[in-house]
Chains A and B, each alone.
Chain A
Amino acid sequence: DAGVIQSPRHEVTEMGQEVTLRCKPISGHNSLFWYRQTMMRGLELLIYFNNNVPIDDSGMPEDRFSAKMPNASFSTLKIQPSEPRDSAVYFCASATGGLSYGYTFGSGTRLTVV
């Protein structure tokens, strides 16, 4: 199993540009989570999906952020327009109903907005 796959690993963009982060969950996992990590705020849950349906997006900072999960094997997190304060590491995680091994996290995307 390749685990949770995120792309790109690093992204540098200019303020005002659109940024799209991608995530491929582990096959068979029915829950997907997007987190953001900064030094100041730690790990924050942005949104999560169950069976491709968004369940809780209360952590999404503002309307500039949007997330989709068009099918069980793919999710995107989009920021439009991006701002320097969006600079962070964004993690995607997936899990299954059995929870025998907890959540599996991807390696993250380090986003820098200049």
Chain B
Amino acid sequence: DAKTTQPTSMDCAEGRAANLPCNHSTISGNEYVYWYRQIHSQGPQYIIHGLKNNETNEMASLIITEDRKSSTLILPHATLRDTAVYYCIVRARGSSNTGKLIFGQGTTLQVKP
């Protein structure tokens, strides 16, 4: 699976959009980009995933560049409860979902009042 690079930490003002970048320059054509987050002391939580098109759900938006070498997770209106470690993971999606999910160090997002 392709390796990802994320900033170690970021701050965001409450109510503003949080934009979390991820570089995955060695991504392969069949690899998806997944985002998870882990709020302190809890298990990781799935946020969103995509292949090449931009995606949006009730939690966030995922913007993937045309060359697929990087992506940005957008939390449109960050709240204090969005303070967490955010993980960007790239992996192939097998037909039977037998792939491993390997976590890096992630980005610690601190939302401030």
Q: How far is the CB of B56 from chain A (nearest CB, A)?
A: 15
Interface of B, secondary structure class, is: loop
**Known A-B contacts A42-B103, A99-B93; A104 and B46 likewise in contact (beta carbons under 8 Å):** yes
Binary contact track A80-108/B, C-beta < 8 Å → 1, others 0? 00000000000101011111011111111
User: Which bracket fits the contact residues of A?
Assistant: 20 to 34
* Least CB distance, A27 to chain B, in whole angstroms: 16
User: Which chain B residues lie closer than 8 Å to A31 at the CB level?
Assistant: 97-98
- Whether the pair A102, B36 counts as a contact (CB closer than 8 A) is yes
| Chain A residues near B (Cβ < 8 Å) | 4, 30-31, 33, 35, 42-43, 45, 48, 50, 55-56, 91, 93, 95-99, 101-108
Interface set of B (CB-CB < 8 Å, partner A): 34, 36, 38, 41-46, 49, 87, 93, 95-98, 100-106
